Amino acid sequence: MNGKNLENELIGHCAPTLAGLKSANLFRYFYTDRKTAEREIAAVNRLLNSRGVYVEALHYKENSILIYAYRASHLQRELSDPKAKELLITYGYGQFDVESCISHLRDRLKDFDCFPHEIGIFLGYPLEDVKGFIENGGKNCKCCGMWKVYCDEKAKVQLFHKFQRCTDIYQQVFSEGRNLVQMTVCA
């Protein structure tokens, strides 16, 4: 395993975040050696933190890490929304700075086989869709894309297409030799 593998995964799963179009993305990263994977994450952070992008291990399993790539400024904006705070309070969040919220999310992930429902806020999903998912138990959505849509289906489908185009372009440009730093828009 080498850092290029993690970079490939970031391009494939997090292009909208790298491009500044989305607050965050999440993906599972498979590894053979945990220490090596942790060094890869640290190396990527050395490259991207100055551009406002942070990469964190949220949860470890036997041979994989749940990787969270986010733009701190975008995430802070999401967490500062009064309606988002109201929802997060119901799940035990008490402080609304990025570091405290990610720490609490990390703790909540330990208690779930899948994901705590509020994770949509951390991924920049529209609050009405996060609430719709929670209220409907994940059922009765209007459509599915990067998330389950409960409101304004047409606009969300366009957004999904925009994110997919971004990912396609990023993968193409990366394969042609651009590096991760060149492809990460400054905050």
Q: Could you give the 3-state DSSP secondary structure of residue 65?
A: strand
Q: Could you give the 3-state DSSP secondary structure of residue 69?
A: strand
Q: Can you tell me the mean pLDDT for 84-102?
A: 97
**Residue 1: pLDDT above 50?**
no
Number of domains in the chain: 1
Tens digits of per-residue pLDDT, 27-66? 999 999 999 999 999 999 999 999 999 999 999 988 999 9
Q: Could you give the 3-state DSSP secondary structure of residue 143?
A: strand
Q: Domain containing 139: what range?
A: 3-155+165-175
In a domain? residue 147 = yes
In a domain? residue 187 = no
d(CA 20, CA 12): 15
Tens digits of per-residue pLDDT, 117-169? 899 999 999 999 999 999 999 999 999 999 999 999 999 999 999 999 999 99
Angle CA 79–118–64, to nearest 5: 105
Instruction: Output the pLDDT for position 112.
Output: 74
In a domain? residue 186 = no
CB-CB contact of 17 with 58 (8 Å) = no
Angle CA 58–137–134, to nearest 5: 60
Higher pLDDT, 101 or 115: 101
d(CA 17, CA 51): 11
In a domain? residue 98 = yes
Strand partners, 28: 66
In a domain? residue 55 = yes
Tens digits of per-residue pLDDT, 4-17? 689 999 999 999 99
In a domain? residue 183 = no
Tell me the chain's radius of gyration from C-alpha atoms. Answer: 16
Instruction: Output the pLDDT for position 111.
Output: 79
In a domain? residue 181 = no
Taking all residues of the chain, what is their mean pLDDT, rounded to a whole number?
95
In a domain? residue 182 = no
d(CA 117, CA 85): 14
Q: Could you tell me the pLDDT band of residue 172, with boundaries at 50, 70 and 90?
A: very high
Tally of CA atoms within 13 A in the half-sphere of 53 that contains its CB = 33
pTM for the full model? 0.94
The H or E element that residue 71 is part of is: strand 64-71
